[in-house]
Structure 1
Amino acid sequence: MTSERTVERTLARPDAAVPTATYRLQLQPGFPFGAAAAAVPYVASLGVSHLHLSPVLEAVPGSLHGYDVVDHARVREELGGEEGLRALARIAREHGLGLIVDIVPNHMAMSPRHNRALWEVLREGPDSPYARWFDIDWEAQDGRVLLPVLGGPLGAELGRIKADGDVLRYYDHEFPLREGTAGLEPPELLDAQWYRLGWWRLARTELNYRRFFSISELIGVRVEDPEVFDATHATILRLLREGVIDGLRVDHPDGLADPDGYLRRLHEATGGRWTVVEKILSDGEPLPASWPVAGTTGYDALRHVDGLFLDPAGFGELLGQYRRFAAPQTDRGGDWDATVRRAAYKVLTHELATEVDRLTRVASRLCATSPEPALRDRAPWALRTALLELLVRLEVYRPYASVDAAGVVTEEAAAEARLAFAVPEEAGAVDAVRDLVLGRYGDGPQHVEFRTRFAQTASALRAKSVEDTAFYRYVPLLSATEVGGNPGAPALPAEAFHAYCARVQRDWPTTGTVVSTHDTKRSADVRAALHVLTECPQRWADVLTEVTRGGEGVPDAQLAWAAWQTVFGLGPAEEERVQGALLKHVREAGLYTSWTEQEPPYEEQVARFVAAGPCGRPGERVAAFRASLEPHIRANVLGTALVHLTMPGVPDVYQGTEREYRALVDPDNRRAVDYGDGERDGDGGGVLGGDGGDSGGLSGEKRAVTRAALRLRARRPEVFGDTASYEPQPAEGPAAAHCVAFVRSGRVLTAVTRLSLRLAEAGGWRDTRLALPPGRWADVLDPGREFTGHARVADLFAPLPVALLERTGD
């Protein structure tokens, strides 16, 4: 049966070539366009078709990521400017590569001295031609923009604020003075501005501009306004027209007022170039079929690939071991759904309190002035309670205009939300709020504003409560706490993976796929090691009993469990890297310390524990345990890589991950890769997190698998593209469940080993066989080998725990 998406796929089919595979480079001042150009010959030798660049427009000076854009009209000078980008494009073209660029439509840096559009708004107020650029609530804060930059209350900081001509200075901050106010004395000078300098702690409850999640340093941009869209996209669109870049990755579309409308406008403006969106799909959530894009950036693929290499029964046992280890603290992280719900309440009442206040104000106005009796007489406190109770029950990021909101803000959620009210009549506030979200009482400007704000708040809540809080509180298996994942049920049967791939090939065949990115909490290879723990949960518990005997200096059991898993997954590493990741862990969890309410005694205890335990002598026992499991880690690493590179979609290879790559959460995973001379000519060289640059071992094997798969994709694009096919290829015999195989277009077969430790404990492959489609099948990884008919899996996996076969004849 033809799917809705198949019918609409032509909306997103560009005239320009769709990538066969992309290679992500994290640009920064220490790795500018020139360094990227020097790496082009090596990257091209891998077999990708396009470089995938992090944001290239002007950003805050020194930015290591580029998502804090300050000027959409210029290519970033610190990277080499537009000439540097053009030179990179020319060199890339000479080696057969195109360019895909990351764009950031949702926000800009809240840095007035660098962001000239914002500077003009702060100088001229709501009458500035740039005022329409930013999502500012001028009705709040007496018509002034709150700038939460002061290190303390104004009274304590007043003496540090100085007027200097037409500029107001506070340390390294600069702000424009409103015309005609330069001669005033403080505090009259401050009161006369279109902005209010405030203590940074006021951001939580007083902020009156939309931001990125809860990051006050990033201000929301109103790209739903056609003039703002044109101004903020002109340079990127010109570079597309001139052939400098070929496609786009759209950062965080869920923060926009109207993602549907934005993507339609972008599609029209680009002429249908290949575009993917950083949309995080929850379990079972489809990408809106009407979006004219190639698909997502691939976190949904990551979840399904990872799920293959997890043992469901072993995960359940590991969860039990964790609960015993962490007792009596398991009420704060032993149940996934409860953990998410508690985190959501915390985020709404703390980090997003100002967003909830704004929503409540809009809802109160609508109800107070509505001609609909069902909306009248709703107290602000009741509407706020209803908003909280509905928002915490959303299981996806947000509703969209093109999708029925009733499937997002469900009647089941409303029924649960009503239980928060003691008086049934007051519980009617839940129905009032839900009806406003569903658009049942009109499409006036305030109704649209309410629905928009609700969706944007829901998106920020989901990201902050799940990815940035619950993932750090629910730690039975760290590899399950990944962007787009479901830590409560992370393991997937092979049948579910195959069904997912079939849907992707049918509906979104040129979507992006990833297993490591600049935003993953742990690289794919670290997660691959941690997956093995689901195959030996009792042995892991025994090791922890041994290394934690005595328990001195342990700050809390949850953190200890996470710390030991961190060093198991990472392997031997510098203490500084582990310390940095775990400090971020405890602050994001927010149980004993946080970014805004830091507890130095607790953080110091964490540092001492990490140094003496996981990074000290006891850590050697964990390292030895990891070493004993290397064959099974190897099977997961290579299996993950090959599945990713040959499944439906366009694979994105994160910088350095063509070799063994062990990295933790950012900024650890954003460090520049060292592409030495050997790397550029394909004969060796050093890669961050690898094995010191030698071409053997797991790093060499992984690079061989990666190059073979990517070159095959480049040579046979029709086998993997939008007209290709995907078919599971089941094995037969006593260990059939441990072989996952599929065929692409009848021409290429991928086979990987699944749960290799369980396989070894059960006696190995024995007489398990894999039926091959008709013809001769050559081993792409070892061209001297050929198979026909029924291949013994033990023979297929003799040199490596994975196999990539290509049909060589009819």
Structure 2
Amino acid sequence: MTPQHPTATYRLQLQPDLGFAAAAAAVPYLASLGISHLHLSPVLEAVPGSTHGYDVVDSARVRGELGGEDGLRALARTAHEHGLGLVVDIVPNHMAAAVRHNRQLYKVLRDGPSSPYARWFDIDWQAQDGRVLMPVLAHHIGDELPHFEVDGDVLRYYEHEFPLREGTRTLPLPELLDAQWYRPAWWRLARTELNYRRFFTISDLIAVRVEDPEVFDATHATVLRLLREGVVDGLRIDHPDGLADPGTYLRRLSDATGGRWTVVEKILEDDEQLPAAWPVAGTTGYDALRHIDGLFTDPAGADELLGLFRRFTDVAADRGGQWAATVRRAALRVVTHELATEVDRLTREAVELCALTPELRDHAPWALRTALRELLVRVPVYRPYVAGGVDPETVLTASDAADAKAVFTVPEEARAVDAVRGLALGRHGDGPRHTAFRARFAQTSSALRAKSVEDTAFYRHTPLLSALEVGGCPRSPAVPAGAFHAYCARVQRAWPYTSTVLSTHDTKRSADVRAGIAALTQCPDRWETLLARVTERTAHGGSTSAPDPQLAWAAWQTVAGLGPADPERLQEALLKHAREAGLFTTWTEQNAAYESALRAFVASGPCGPPGDEVLRFMAELAPHVRANILGAALAHLTMPGVPDLYQGTEYEYRALVDPDNRKPASFDVKERGALSEEKAALTRAALRLRKEHPDWFGGAAAYEPLSAEGAAEGHCVAYVRSGRVVVAVTRLSLRLAEAGGWRDTKLRLPEGEWTELLDSERKFSGQARVADLFGRLPVALLVRSEVSAEVGSEVGSEVGSEVGSDVSSDVREERQETG
């Protein structure tokens, strides 16, 4: 019987090369870590070959390429035999628009709005003459006609298959195309002509209307059955912000699951709170990531790096030099171009609603479109939730409205802003059409925020790459210890079973890469000197110069965090960086000359002799990167919430943005360095502690900050969990060393004797000297001595041996025994 709430989860990125059988073979090893649940990426039928599973094509079937339902059940049995439950990722917002594989969409395109499946998808049948635009053609349709083929009741275009409307198969091709419920079109028309809602700006993913109870029941039947039958024990909900009514959806889901443990992929801005009425355990943990990373970032150094970035790149404020201006410019670009079709639909609906309301009439469509654009770019969060007790004034403020009006030259025309704002906030009616407009405005806001911030601005404003993760706060990347403690106390009080993460399948850089980059905030002057040298070498030392200084800046920081890398690996990551930034090349308008120069620069510079100089520099910082890595890991594993480990991160794990971080997990025995073994030992100790004593960390547990005293007190961050466990980590260790070390700094421990779990022979009480506390490692995990026997001598002795001289043999033997 698995526990109601996980104590720790372990994410496996399933794909054809890592299916259910491979996951089952790894279960004994994963159980030995001390986790309570496996966390599986989506398990329902997806586009063949998909390496992520979010492109679902059939929500009624478990994915055959992974092993089908029989394979999932076998994995669940193996997991349960080892005391582990299963948490699965589900995707309620969208399905793949792959017509040949998505049978519901296939039938909609065959039968049109009369199809029983037409209600499944968010299609605007009023647009495109009542036909669904399918943007799949490589060129204008006139150029592509020779590539169409009628095969019985199927229309083929290369790998695409479309159904033919009844009675049309014998028509001449041009007439046949015009007679369908869909319109095959040049892929570039998606930006302005698409008439179905999609996931962000990805036309290959079509939105699903789970707000319809029948659609909810049909798309969730298999997952709910697996929950009822005990195969699955918990859920992760992908992108609830994309739904028409996330709150209602989550309440319906909670009722259907009987309140099973569920977390949502909700991105919270720095001061934003998860809606309290949502019946979930919390978020997937990006808010925790931001606070942990910030704890190991030096605020003064981050400011210095910002100044250096501006001098090095000489970039304009709105093209990367200043955060708010960069976000605004990116948002205006996205809302005008990539989301043009979404804004057009909102404009049409606003025109219609204004016509129904006497006090809102006489606004020109262009004015309403301008008002929509100017208000959308000013929404400060991913999605405005104006229901459930949220003050509307904090979502679209009067100040926002005044700023939006400034773009109008005629004051009377500027009143369109008030009309749109009122509609978006529910002040001009509450009928079905008004509700639908508010939902669509919120959905568009979410897509705009994602595309303009995390997919554009994060690649332009790059003074500190480690701060550029979903939910991050680039304008203020450092988190003071007091703010970290306040966050932890709030989580323990309000969301004790929320998920917490450091690395995921979506992080742009893994936690250990970010830890290395964050170390640069402690030595920005030395980094500036190094940059000058490597830049000189690439310009005059036989290496190829960077195609632009912003790319060079990102490349050198990437090498600093990642370490030695194959040129192709780094080239692909930086090519994605440049295309996302969209300053010199993009995904849809690729600049071949620029991209060729990028590849040449990466190969001869960051992956050449100048890059070796960066690696030597980082070798000197290795003790301080180690302190960041181990400190972040221990904080993650012991803070309030349920830690979710991404595959392989129990060891040192350095990965870049997808697809680099989505490679199949490998559990083969390999020689690993000392840092890897230290991290693995720390992880195993903390996870086993949580699993053996869930009450010390769960809903009724306590979280209390501890304050050090002395010359270096600011470098020790410590806290107590339920009076039984003391956690202490070293913060900004390079600054600490430069200031003279710990000296007389002491940490007053709670009453009693405390045993170091990582070395059971080390005991402390009273005012412990911090220098002694961190004698072998830059972190400490203490357990009250009178209960230390409960923890198990096996954990203490095993961890002690791994951290000591014989670091790797025990782990290798255990991994060989467990497969």
Q: How does 1:616-695 map to 2 (within 5 A)?
A: 616-676=608-668, 685-686=669-670, 693-694=671-672
Once the two structures are superposed, residues 461-485 of structure 1 have per-residue CA deviations (whole angstroms, 9 ceiling, x without a partner) of 0111000000000110100111100
Q: What secondary structure does 1:425 align onto? A: helix
Question: What is the aligned counterpart of 2:755 among 750, 768, 778?
Answer: 778
Q: Which amino acid aligns with 1:318?
A: L
1:586 aligns with 2:578: yes
Q: Which residue of 2 is the match for residue 38 of structure 1?
A: 25
Q: How does 1:508-547 map to 2 (within 5 A)?
A: 508-547=495-534
Once the two structures are superposed, residues 703-751 of structure 1 have per-residue CA deviations (whole angstroms, 9 ceiling, x without a partner) of 0000000000011110000000000001000000000000000100100
Q: What secondary structure does 1:548 align onto? A: helix
Question: What is the aligned counterpart of 2:764 among 772, 783, 787?
Answer: 787
Q: How does 1:155-166 map to 2 (within 5 A)?
A: 155-166=142-153
Partners of 1:574 and 1:330 in 2: how far apart?
Answer: 34
* CA displacement at 1:329 relative to structure 2: 4.5
Partners of 1:290 and 1:112 in 2: how far apart?
Answer: 37
Partners of 2:296 and 2:377 in 1: how far apart?
Answer: 31
Partners of 2:313 and 2:717 in 1: how far apart?
Answer: 35
Partners of 1:591 and 1:744 in 2: how far apart?
Answer: 48
Indicate conservation of the 8 Å contact 1:343/1:465, yes or no: yes
Once the two structures are superposed, residues 789-808 of structure 1 have per-residue CA deviations (whole angstroms, 9 ceiling, x without a partner) of 11110000011000000012
Q: Which residue of 1 is the match for residue 424 of structure 2?
A: 437
Indicate conservation of the 8 Å contact 1:16/1:273, yes or no: no
* CA displacement at 1:673 relative to structure 2: 1.8
Partners of 2:34 and 2:437 in 1: how far apart?
Answer: 48
Q: What secondary structure does 2:401 align onto? A: helix
Q: Which amino acid aligns with 1:376?
A: R
Partners of 1:725 and 1:577 in 2: how far apart?
Answer: 44
Q: Which residue of 1 is the match for residue 108 of structure 2?
A: 121
Indicate conservation of the 8 Å contact 2:318/2:328, yes or no: no
Q: What secondary structure does 1:187 align onto? A: helix
Once the two structures are superposed, residues 388-418 of structure 1 have per-residue CA deviations (whole angstroms, 9 ceiling, x without a partner) of 1111111101122323433211112111111
Indicate conservation of the 8 Å contact 2:2/2:80, yes or no: no
Q: Which residue of 1 is the match for residue 180 of structure 2?
A: 193
Give the TM-score of the pair, scaled to structure 1: 0.95
Once the two structures are superposed, residues 669-705 of structure 1 have per-residue CA deviations (whole angstroms, 9 ceiling, x without a partner) of 01112112xxxxxxxx23xxxxxx33x5100000000
Indicate conservation of the 8 Å contact 1:797/1:803, yes or no: yes
Partners of 1:638 and 1:795 in 2: how far apart?
Answer: 17
Give the TM-score of the pair, scaled to structure 2: 0.94
Q: What secondary structure does 2:456 align onto? A: helix
1:418 aligns with 2:405: yes
Unaligned runs of 5+ in 1: 1-13, 677-684, 687-692
Q: Which residue of 1 is the match for residue 601 of structure 2?
A: 609
* CA displacement at 1:197 relative to structure 2: 0.3
Q: Which residue of 2 is the match for residue 576 of structure 1?
A: 568
Q: What secondary structure does 1:416 align onto? A: helix
- Please identify, of 517-526 and 395-404, the stretch whose mean Cα deviation from structure 2 is larger: 395-404
Question: What is the aligned counterpart of 1:354 among 341, 359, 383?
Answer: 341
Question: What is the aligned counterpart of 1:385 among 365, 370, 384?
Answer: 370
Question: What is the aligned counterpart of 2:704 among 722, 727, 731?
Answer: 727
Indicate conservation of the 8 Å contact 1:263/1:293, yes or no: yes
Relative distance call for 1:427 and 1:366 in structure 2 (3 A) is same
Q: What secondary structure does 2:455 align onto? A: helix
* CA displacement at 1:328 relative to structure 2: 4.5
Q: Which residue of 2 is the match for residue 4 of structure 1?
A: none
Partners of 2:203 and 2:498 in 1: how far apart?
Answer: 32
Question: What is the aligned counterpart of 1:449 among 433, 436, 458?
Answer: 436
Question: What is the aligned counterpart of 2:462 among 450, 459, 475?
Answer: 475
Partners of 1:643 and 1:479 in 2: how far apart?
Answer: 17
Indicate conservation of the 8 Å contact 2:309/2:463, yes or no: yes
- Please identify, of 140-149 and 436-445, the stretch whose mean Cα deviation from structure 2 is larger: 436-445
Partners of 1:265 and 1:445 in 2: how far apart?
Answer: 20
Indicate conservation of the 8 Å contact 2:154/2:161, yes or no: yes
Q: Which amino acid aligns with 2:47?
A: V
Partners of 1:670 and 1:304 in 2: how far apart?
Answer: 24
Q: What secondary structure does 1:281 align onto? A: coil
Q: How does 1:80-479 map to 2 (within 5 A)?
A: 80-329=67-316, 331-371=318-358, 373=359, 375-400=360-385, 401-402=387-388, 403-479=390-466
Partners of 2:355 and 2:271 in 1: how far apart?
Answer: 38
Indicate conservation of the 8 Å contact 2:317/2:325, yes or no: no
* Percent identity between the two aligned chains: 72
* CA displacement at 1:330 relative to structure 2: 5.1
Q: What secondary structure does 2:728 align onto? A: strand
Unaligned runs of 5+ in 2: 788-819
* CA displacement at 1:554 relative to structure 2: 1.7
Indicate conservation of the 8 Å contact 2:155/2:163, yes or no: yes
Q: What secondary structure does 1:522 align onto? A: coil
Indicate conservation of the 8 Å contact 2:2/2:85, yes or no: no
* CA displacement at 1:445 relative to structure 2: 2.2
* CA displacement at 1:369 relative to structure 2: 2.9
* CA displacement at 1:16 relative to structure 2: 5.7
1:74 aligns with 2:51: no
Question: What is the aligned counterpart of 1:600 among 582, 592, 614?
Answer: 592
Partners of 2:581 and 2:37 in 1: how far apart?
Answer: 37
Partners of 1:52 and 1:72 in 2: how far apart?
Answer: 19
Partners of 1:207 and 1:287 in 2: how far apart?
Answer: 32
1:563 aligns with 2:555: yes
Once the two structures are superposed, residues 28-52 of structure 1 have per-residue CA deviations (whole angstroms, 9 ceiling, x without a partner) of 0000000000110110000000000
Q: What secondary structure does 1:426 align onto? A: helix
Once the two structures are superposed, residues 70-102 of structure 1 have per-residue CA deviations (whole angstroms, 9 ceiling, x without a partner) of 001100000000000000000001111000000
1:796 aligns with 2:805: no
Once the two structures are superposed, residues 311-349 of structure 1 have per-residue CA deviations (whole angstroms, 9 ceiling, x without a partner) of 001100111111110015455101001110011001111
Q: Which residue of 1 is the match for residue 791 of structure 2?
A: none
Partners of 1:305 and 1:289 in 2: how far apart?
Answer: 23
Indicate conservation of the 8 Å contact 1:348/1:388, yes or no: yes
Partners of 1:376 and 1:329 in 2: how far apart?
Answer: 41
Indicate conservation of the 8 Å contact 1:638/1:802, yes or no: yes
Partners of 1:337 and 1:26 in 2: how far apart?
Answer: 35
Partners of 1:143 and 1:119 in 2: how far apart?
Answer: 16
Indicate conservation of the 8 Å contact 1:406/1:438, yes or no: no
Q: Which amino acid aligns with 1:151?
A: A
Q: What secondary structure does 2:270 align onto? A: coil
Partners of 2:169 and 2:157 in 1: how far apart?
Answer: 16
Q: Detail structure 1 runs of 4+ shifted over 4 Å in the superposition.
A: 328-331
Partners of 1:337 and 1:244 in 2: how far apart?
Answer: 47
Q: Which amino acid aligns with 2:730?
A: T
Indicate conservation of the 8 Å contact 1:367/1:376, yes or no: yes
Q: Between Structure 1 and Structure 2, how many residues are aligned?
A: 780
Indicate conservation of the 8 Å contact 1:482/1:520, yes or no: yes
* CA displacement at 1:351 relative to structure 2: 0.9
Partners of 1:520 and 1:173 in 2: how far apart?
Answer: 32
Q: Which amino acid aligns with 1:772?
A: L
Q: Which amino acid aligns with 2:750?
A: P
Indicate conservation of the 8 Å contact 1:329/1:557, yes or no: no
Q: Which residue of 2 is the match for residue 679 of structure 1?
A: none
Once the two structures are superposed, residues 274-301 of structure 1 have per-residue CA deviations (whole angstroms, 9 ceiling, x without a partner) of 0000000001000000000000000000
